[in-house]
Amino acid sequence: MTTAVDKDLSLLRTGDRPQRDLFLDNRSVPTAARYARIEAAEADWIVPLVADIEADTAPLATRADWVAALAVLLAEERDGAPSSRYLADEATREQFAVVVEEFAPDGLTEAQNFFPAVARLPIRAQMAVMRVMIDEFGCGNIAQAHSQLYRDLLAELDLPDELPEVLRDTNDETYAFLNSFYWLASRAVDVEYFLGALAYLEAAIPDAFAFQARACERLGIANGRYYTEHIHIDDFHMREMQTAIKEYEAARGLDPTKLLVGATLLSSLLGAAMDAAVAKAVAKTAGR
């Protein structure tokens, strides 16, 4: 049954958790008041955060410099943070379930917040991003949609699978990771931040999800396909994102530094979200 909350998630706002409230506004039909709230929250958070990252980033001259800088970032992260290694090798089924529920607001809404960026790209770059999006939505086949693969995983772990329900206890770090894409796709004036962030994400996920896939195998979880499918398909998505960036450059010119700023932003937000998720899983299950 559709509830009032399904129609207007902003009804769940509490006024005392800025990242959660921002996510609820981002997921609601915008009114002028709501949009002003979103802009004010972003002006207090992601706008200065991006400016700080940009101030700390050595300027890149060319697209080739960006490709090289991304390779360095990915190589640094390949072995995984201690939180990822814990998940792969030590977490109990109960702890793994806490992490799966923590990322459910992402899995259940996967790629939806990328759409506004498509319309802001030159046409050939749109095509490359659309090829990524088509896969994210299972080529129109619900059984293959990434959000459905996540639902299958939630079901196996006896977790709720509707968005309002999975927001019971979500960390601010997870909301910040999710909220970043709403800004990147819709409000960051330079769309290179979005392109760099998504190019990073697609390139980082095959390594990052290898830890979750290992956990599923070790714990005998049958619906680890959400992770293994990403390990497979994001290799293509990573290349499509580089095509999108190349086409963007051909049509409009490119600021490669902004690509790296987007990548660095996502790397830090996703890393913090994973660390917080695993810390929560350990804390929740302590003494059991």
Q: Is residue 224 classed as helix, strand or coil in its secondary structure? A: coil
Contact 266, 193 (CB under 8 A): no
Min dist CB 146 to Fe ion, Å, is 4
Give min distance, CB of 18 to Fe ion, in A: 27
Q: What are 224's two structure tokens?
A: 């680890």
Choosing from 25, 102, 234, 240, the residue that interacts with Fe ion (CB under 5 A) is: 234
- Min. distance of Cβ 229 from Fe ion in angstroms? 8
Question: Is the Cβ of residue 205 or residue 254 nearer to Fe ion in the bound state?
Answer: 205
- Asked if 237 interacts with Fe ion (CB under 5 A), we say yes
Alpha helices in the chain (DSSP H): 4-7, 18-26, 32-44, 46-56, 63-77, 82-89, 93-102, 104-107, 115-118, 123-136, 146-156, 163-166, 172-186, 192-219, 225-252, 256-285
Beta carbon of residue 169, minimum distance to Fe ion (angstroms, whole number): 24
Looking at residues 202 to 231 of the shown chain, list those that interact with Fe ion (rule: CB under 5 A).
Answer: 202
Nearer to Fe ion, 139 or 189 (CB): 139
Q: Which of 287, 280, 288 is nearest to 99 (CA)?
A: 280
Q: Considering the complex, state which of residue 53 and residue 128 has its C-beta at the smaller distance from Fe ion.
A: 128
Report CA torsion sign: 114, 115, 119, 123.
Answer: positive
Maximum distance among all Cα pairs of the chain, rounded to whole angstroms: 58
CB of 209 to Fe ion, least distance (A): 10
Rounded least distance, CB 240 to Fe ion, Å: 9
* 214 vs 237, beta carbon nearer Fe ion: 237
**Complex with Fe ion: residue 151 or 237, whichever CB lies closer:** 237
Q: How many CB atoms lie within 10 A of CB 134?
A: 11
* C-alpha span between 275 and 82 (Å, rounded): 8
- Site track 139-158 with Fe ion (rule: CB under 5 A), x = hit: -------x------------
Looking at the Cβ atoms of 230 and 280, the one nearer to Fe ion is 230
Cα torsion for 226, 7, 33, 191, to the nearest 10°?
A: 30
Residues of this chain, 7-36, that bind Fe ion according to CB under 5 A:
none
Q: Which is nearer to Fe ion, 53 or 99 (CB)?
A: 99
240 binds Fe ion (CB under 5 A): no
Closest CA to 66 of 248, 268, 245, 265: 245
C-alpha separations of 17 from 41, 106, 254 in Å: 11, 18, 36
Q: How far is the CB of 108 from Fe ion (least distance, A)?
A: 12
- Kindly write out the interface string for residues 167-206 of this chain, putting x where it contacts Fe ion by CB under 5 A and - elsewhere: -----------------------------------x----
Residue number with CB closer to Fe ion (35 or 236): 236
Residue numbers at the binding site for Fe ion (CB under 5 A)? 136, 146, 202, 234, 237
